[in-house]
Amino acid sequence: MNVLETDLDDAPAPQGQLTLKLLAARQDTNLYGDISGGWLVSHMDQAAELAAGRKAGGRTATVAIEAMDFLSPVRAGSMVSVYTAVREIGRSSIKIDVEVWVRPPHGCSLDERQKVTEARFVMVALDDNGRIRAVQDDNA
């Protein structure tokens, strides 16, 4: 693809569907007033589980998180939006791409947002006894 085939004015946008939206609170910060990476990962995992559970038709669990980079700190008071997209469904596993976007606490407009991290979560479907089972994709 060359420069003529792309629109350089396009603003980056989240991929997937909005799965979680929450406020980054002061109690979730480190000593410098930034939200901890663990807090973000926890909510990303929760969003991946919600998305995978819909596809699997029930309980799922995280078995892997592929490479994750934190692009910028998240300040207390930011509105955090977690987006998910199902990328691959295997016999018992589901790969979910997860992106986190934030709107800063003192943003100039409601459209002002920035991506702060992304990762691919690998989830497996589980039966009622916690054993791996085949994905029952009733929503395909």
This prediction has a pTM of 0.86
| Closest listed residue to residue 47, CA positions, set 12, 99, 87 | 99
Label residues 39-58 b or e (16+ Cβ within 10 Å = b): bbbebbbbbbbebbbbbbeb
Give residue 12's pLDDT.
85
**Coil, helix or strand at residue 37:** helix
| Residue found under tokens 């979730």 | 28
To the nearest 5 percent, what fractions of the chain are helix, strand and coil? Answer: 20, 40, 40
Q: Return the pLDDT at 23.
A: 94
Q: Give 40's contacts (C-beta < 8 A, 6+ positions apart).
A: 70, 74, 80, 100, 116, 117
* Residue 78 burial (CB count, 10 A): 24
Which CATH architecture fits 17-125?
Roll (3.10)
Instruction: State the pLDDT at residue 3.
Output: 45
pLDDT 10s per residue in the chain (140 long)?
A: 444 444 445 668 999 999 999 999 999 998 888 999 999 999 999 999 999 999 999 999 999 999 898 999 999 999 999 999 999 999 999 999 999 999 988 765 666 889 999 999 999 999 999 999 999 755 54
3-state SS, residue 100? strand
Could you give the CA distance from residue 124 to residue 55 in angstroms, rounded to a whole number? Answer: 11
